[in-house]
Amino acid sequence: MQIPCAVNPATFPETKQLISQVMASTGFDPYLPSTYKRRVVRSAGYGAGGGIGSRSAYSTHSAPVTSYVSSRRSYPTSTRAASSYSTVLPAAAAPELRLDQAVQVSSEFKVLRTQEKAELQDLNDRFASFIERVHELEQQNKLLETELLLLRQKQTEPSNLRALYEHEIRQLHAAVEEARHEKQAAQDHRVEMEDVLKNLQKRYEDEVLGREEAEGRLMDARKGADNAALDQVELDKRVETLLDELAFLKRLCESEIAELQAQVQYSVEVSVGMEVSKPDLSSALRDIRGQYEKLAHRNLQAAEEWFCNKMSVMTVGSTRNTESARSAKDEAGEYRRLLKARTLEIDASREMIQALENQLQEVEEKQSDEISALQDAISNLEEELRANKNDMARYLKDYQDLLNVKMALDIEIAAYRKLLEGEEDRLSVERQVPFTVYSHAMSSAPSYGRVQVSMQSQLSSAAPYLLSSRLYSSSLSTEDAISASQAQQAEARPPQEEEEEEEVEQVEEEEEKEEEEEEMAEEKEEEEEEEEGGDEEQGEEGEEEEETEDKQEEEANGEG
């Protein structure tokens, strides 16, 4: 592949001579980095035999231009320049040139400079595109070689990969079968627990029905006991009334007996007075008395028999009701005991169901946690793989950039070496043409530690812009030459350098404003945090006071 060069020495033979002189006078360093863009512009001039001269302008766009220093170097008094004028210029040439001829030369020089600038830009772009294409092809070749190496490695060791894959597949199948068996066992256990739950629910329903029936019978027994108690109270009242009636009858009988005795005694006394006149009534009274005694005895016996019968009947009813109440109480106690036992069984069944449900939930949560952990591990591995791929791509890009820079520098070094060698060969044969250089230096340029040997080292550390021209007349005034040089400088100067300086200053001012705003925001945040800390301390003190007051009230209540 033929690499195009920015300046073709075969086409422009005098350009090599001027470039070498400019490089020697400005201390040009061919090892500058590729970030500093170099331009070589050919310009028109009148040299020996009306040949083509050249102007070399080196400019950089990596830093704004801060100051320009212009100086004029001429060699009209040196013997070398005099000899070159005497040998190169034609005999008919006048020692001085007019001002209009200088203006015409300057205009032609500008036209040729613009044409050569466009041509050099085109050549540089083509050269950069060729280099990028070469790098892309080399990168593709490396990728293809890597893929080929991987395919060869895969073809050389197919058995190991197949064995590994088969072993991994067997392990995965075993894990799947084990998980399936565990799932089936869990489902069977769940079905068994559901059957147990159904049986317990059925038993619970039966016990609830039995409890309701027992409660109904208990209510009936309580009603019977209440009725028996009421009957017993009524019978007790009747016994009291009968006892009162019996006492009343006894008193009545005694009063009647007393009256009868009084009547009998009176009748006896009357009969004693009338014994003579009246018949004997003692036998009659005796008979009447016996009859009344028999009647009273019979009435007393009948009352006692009726009372005894009533008492026996009431005693039998009371004993019967007492036995029924006792049996009802015993039955109620038995039902209460059964109800308590069933309640305990139901509580135990509920606790068992809750424990089984908790166990099932724990198993499900454990499985979900394991699945989530595996998914997280997979995602982490994928992220690590992605990060490794990004790192490899970044490293590959950095390596490619470094390789591109190295190749560009090597190509530039080779091109400049060829130019210097050609110029050295040409200088050994031809004579050197005098010229005048106006250079405008930048404030700084990288030199990579090399000492730049030049005639302008005291003015500037680098030469981003260099204007070279040849004047064939010494009659041109100094002021006109300076004005023409300044006009050419203004035309060749990049129009965006001042704007770039203003933009850089604006960016710096904005950054300073942002830093000040950030500092103010941080100070406000610190003040707010301090205020919040004070409020929290006051709230904690108030809570402690409330707790102490509550404790004092509790102690006072306990003492009371």
Instruction: Look at residues 149, 211, 177 and name the one whose alpha carbon lies nearest to residue 169.
Output: 177
Residue 486 covered by a domain: no
Residue 409 covered by a domain: no
pLDDT of residue 486: 54
Top mean-pLDDT range of 63-72, 258-267, 412-421? 412-421
Over residues 409-414, the mean pLDDT reads 87
* Whole-Å CA distances, 90 to 46, 163, 235: 12, 92, 175
pLDDT of residue 483: 57
Domains of the chain: total: 1
Residue 538 covered by a domain: no
505 or 499: which leads in pLDDT: 505
Q: Exposure string (b/e) for 96-129, b if CB count within 10 Å is 16 or more?
A: ebeeeebeebbeebbebbeebbeebeebbeebee
pLDDT of residue 534: 59
The CATH number given to whatever domain includes residue 284 is: 1.10.287
pLDDT of residue 488: 52
Among the ranges given (35-44, 156-165, 223-232, 428-437), the one the predictor scored with the smallest mean pLDDT: 35-44
pLDDT of residue 327: 82
Per-residue model confidence as pLDDT tens digits over 123-140: 888 888 888 888 888 898
* Per-residue 3-state assignment (H helix, E strand, C coil) for 321-344: HHHHHHHHHHHHHHHHHHHHHHHH
Residue 441 covered by a domain: no
* Per-residue 3-state assignment (H helix, E strand, C coil) for 262-321: HHHHHHHHHHHHCCCCCCCCHHHHHHHHHHHHHHHHHHHHHHHHHHHHHHHHHHHHHHHH
pLDDT of residue 398: 86
pLDDT of residue 474: 37
Percent of residues, the chain, with pLDDT higher than 90: 0
Among the ranges given (52-56, 131-135, 517-521, 527-531), the one the predictor scored with the smallest mean pLDDT: 52-56
- Is pTM beyond 0.85 here? no
The pLDDT-based confidence of 427 (bands split at 50, 70, 90) is: confident
Residue 189 covered by a domain: yes
104 or 61: which leads in pLDDT: 104
Top mean-pLDDT range of 87-96, 276-285, 347-356? 347-356
Residue 312 covered by a domain: yes
Over residues 501-524, the mean pLDDT reads 74
Per-residue model confidence as pLDDT tens digits over 431-442: 554 444 333 433
pLDDT of residue 156: 60
Per-residue model confidence as pLDDT tens digits over 143-201: 988 888 888 877 665 556 677 778 888 888 888 888 888 888 888 888 888 888 888 88
Per-residue model confidence as pLDDT tens digits over 372-398: 888 888 888 888 888 888 888 888 888
Q: Give the structural domain span for 315.
A: 167-350
Among the ranges given (143-152, 343-352, 468-477, 480-489), the one the predictor scored with the smallest mean pLDDT: 468-477
Residue 448 covered by a domain: no
pLDDT for residue 119 is more than 60? yes
Alpha carbons 469 and 55: distance in angstroms, whole number: 6
Percent of residues, the chain, with pLDDT higher than 70: 59
Over residues 47-61, the mean pLDDT reads 38
Inter-residue contact 450 to 98 (CB < 8 Å): no
CA 203, chain centre distance (Å):
52
Alpha carbons 192 and 189: distance in angstroms, whole number: 5
Over residues 76-90, the mean pLDDT reads 38
DSSP string of 160-175, one letter each residue: HHHHHHHHHHHHHHHH
